[in-house]
Amino acid sequence: MNETFVTLSGWLGNDVSVRQAADVPVASFRVASTPRRFQRSTQTWEDGDTQWYSVNAWRALAENCEQSLRRGDPVVVHGKLSAHVWTNKAGLEVTTFEIEAAFVGHDLNRGTSRFQRRKPVVASDGASTEEVPADAA
């Protein structure tokens, strides 16, 4: 099966929410992407229609998104795109787009960010499943 991967830049429409799915953290958030086009005839920039995407990030990426992203942040998301068609209460057919994120980051065209590496915590039995920020260890 072929899968469609996309990269989009936009603005976080809400704070990240995290839930557990089979004991695995899943972060969910919405990204708004509005294309801009230069109109030669008027020598002005015009905004196109804003498109909204639901984004899900799993495991460590979910936790990092929760700690790093806030509503209104400029972001870049890369992942698998899927479309879902459903009928709303008014009886209209609606298509929503969802991205299962592989990579998420701040859009550094719009500002600066500081990276903080996470390092694994090694338990007494040698297992290392939990991670903490590097400066917290």
Whether the pLDDT of residue 103 is over 90: the answer is yes
Residue 38 lies in a domain: yes
Q: With cut-offs at 50, 70 and 90, classify the pLDDT of residue 127.
A: low
Residue 47 lies in a domain: yes
Q: Which of 75, 62, 73, 72 is nearest to 118 (CA)?
A: 62
Instruction: Express each pLDDT in 67-92 by its tens digit.
Output: 999 999 999 999 999 999 999 999 99
Residue 131 lies in a domain: no
Provide the domain count of the chain.
1
Is there a contact between 11 and 41 (Cβ–Cβ < 8 Å)? Answer: no
φ and ψ of 135, to 5 deg: -80, -10
**pLDDT at residue 120, rounded to an integer:** 74
Contacts 24+ apart (CB under 8 A), 116-125: 118/60, 118/64
Q: In this structure, what CATH number is given to the domain that contains residue 44?
A: 2.40.50.140
Residue 103 lies in a domain: yes
Please state the length of the chain. 137
Range of the domain at 43: 4-110
Residue 126 lies in a domain: no
Residue 102 lies in a domain: yes
Instruction: Express each pLDDT in 1-18 by its tens digit.
Output: 678 999 999 999 999 999
| Bridge pairing between strands 24-33 and 51-58 | antiparallel
